[in-house]
Amino acid sequence: MVTGFPAELIREIVSHLPEEIYERPSRLSSLSRVSSQFREPCQQKLFSHLHLYPPGPPRSRYVQFIVGKRLLWLLDNSTMLKKYTKTITINEEEEWLKDDPKITEALTRINALGVLRELRLHDTQSLGGLELDLREVITSICSSPNFSSLFIQTSDDSLASSRLVKASISTLKRLEVHLYRLTPGASRFIPPNEGQPQPQLQLESFVFHVEAGVCAETLDYVLEASGGSMKTLQALHVLTQKKQLSAVILAKIASFAYTATDLRRLTYELPFNIDDYGRAPKDTTKDTILDLSKLGKLKSISITYARIQSDPKKGDSPRKDPFLWVLRLFQTIPPSFSLESVHLVIQHFYYDASFPLESAEANFHQLDALLSDREKLPFLRNVTIDLYFHARHVYFKPDIASRLQREISEYKGAFATLHRRRLLNVRTLREMHGRDGALY
């Protein structure tokens, strides 16, 4: 029997164990049986986040309706859900939910406990395809007064998804929206009810995937619900999945960011065609480039962009380096700016393993000078550059490790001042076709 460990040490051990959603028994479950000292910390982590997923392989369906029955059994025979549960994640397509006659009753009873703070809907095809009673329970969860975090990942921008955002908008602190496709008649977020008081938005973190048809409406809805100003927003994450975006969409993202008067953290994944705006005349693209001088409290910025080799088999014309857009972004830094951390993620996509990995040295020298300016950035503490290398159709040559090390040296040389001041950290990751990446 293991006894005598300090409670803080036990909590630290338990906190480092992963959530093994599909493993039975999990390490957390096994550890909870080691001694009474481990039982409560393990149970707290096990039950704080409930992952609901299909009960068995879709083809075999060897255990039917286990999710709803199991939850009801726990509600009747244990206090764990009432004591610890804060988050529910519903995984995979919605079909299995339709086959579980007890899931609606179970979620209704859990919601009645008043303990849920977060709902995460992963990989659902259509929330609108669920039974009406189940949709109403999910909406009720989102509208509870203690609810504060909503994650939606769906391939269809259904009215059901919109209702969840509307139901929770007044209490949300974290909102993450991944909508991948519009369906006829469901392309508009439901506006706030006319004649009702405007909700006082408390949103602190907003993550959204940009789709040309969805982005504008998502931003318009959230901004309208906030009364035109995101006063409480501290973290904004814009993810594009590298799609081609118009200047209108980029300008809308920028204008939305400017309404966040207390924004501290900005993460921006740039689209594939961002190089068009970096090289175009400034007067025609000024609205597509964020003006950092309008984000006066920004502490951390992370920018991800891609350098792509033209496909020789398709006869593509040479692609331009999107770094010029990034350079023009940092040229908007005002004197005595609050920025403390800069993170650049540069992704290299290429078809030929012999594709040269040279960097645009002159542009990097300019950025080095901008970020090393102590008058403009007196609080800067670190600059991290992550280099990702994606090989298509080919494996890396045996000497790739030494080539990547040379690439690191080149970047450190290009950012000589930052490197000399010990503010620079350069890391590389190679991703081989069919294999895991390796960090150097």
Could you report the per-residue pLDDT of 328-386, keeping only the tens digit for each?
A: 899 999 999 999 999 999 887 655 544 444 446 677 889 999 999 999 999 999 999 98
Q: What is the mean predicted confidence (pLDDT) over 87-103?
A: 81
- Give residue 169's pLDDT: 79
- Give residue 313's pLDDT: 62
| Higher pLDDT, residue 81 or 341 | 341
* Fold adopted by 53-229: 3.80.10
- Give residue 163's pLDDT: 76
The band of 390, judged by pLDDT with boundaries at 50, 70 and 90, is: low
- pLDDT tops 50 at residue 431: no
Q: What is the mean predicted confidence (pLDDT) over 252-272?
A: 89
Q: What is the mean predicted confidence (pLDDT) over 381-397?
A: 70
**Residue entry with tokens 């991800």:** 304
The band of 183, judged by pLDDT with boundaries at 50, 70 and 90, is: very low
Would you say the CATH fold of 234-440 matches that of 53-229? yes
Distance CA 337, CA 350 (A): 37
- Half-sphere exposure in the Cβ direction for 50 (13 Å, CA): 25
Amino acid at 26: S
Lowest mean pLDDT: which of 7-11, 29-33, 319-323? 319-323
- Give residue 357's pLDDT: 43
- pLDDT tops 90 at residue 234: yes
Lowest mean pLDDT: which of 110-114, 119-123, 187-191? 187-191
- Give residue 288's pLDDT: 81
| Average pLDDT of the residues of the chain | 77
- Give residue 78's pLDDT: 84
Distance CA 401, CA 393 (A): 19
- pLDDT tops 60 at residue 89: yes
| Higher pLDDT, residue 104 or 62 | 104
| Higher pLDDT, residue 400 or 50 | 50
Is CATH 1.20.1440 the classification given to domain 234-440? no
| Higher pLDDT, residue 254 or 158 | 254
Q: What is the mean predicted confidence (pLDDT) over 12-33?
A: 72
- pLDDT tops 70 at residue 133: yes
* Three-state DSSP class for residue 133: helix
Lowest mean pLDDT: which of 1-5, 28-32, 259-263, 362-366? 1-5
CB-count burial class (<10 Å; 0-12, 13-18, 19+) for 363: middle
Domain map (residue ranges) of the chain: 53-229, 234-440
* Three-state DSSP class for residue 236: strand
For the chain, the farthest-separated pair of C-alpha atoms sits apart, in whole angstroms, at 73
Distance CA 164, CA 121 (A): 11
- pLDDT tops 80 at residue 256: yes
Please check whether residue 238 is in contact with residue 273, taking contact to mean a CB–CB distance below 8 angstroms.
no
H or E segment to which residue 89 belongs: strand 87-90
Query: What is the per-residue burial (b if ≥16 Cβ within 10 Å, else e) of 335-362?
Result: eebbbebbbbbbbbbbbeeebebebeee
What region, left, alpha or beta, does residue 228 occupy, with left being phi > 0 and alpha being psi -120 to 50 degrees? left
Give the tens place of pLDDT for each residue, 287-335: 788 899 999 999 999 999 887 666 556 655 555 667 888 888 999 999 9
Lowest mean pLDDT: which of 129-133, 140-144, 316-320? 316-320
The band of 391, judged by pLDDT with boundaries at 50, 70 and 90, is: low
Q: What is the mean predicted confidence (pLDDT) over 12-31?
A: 72
Distance CA 110, CA 74 (A): 10
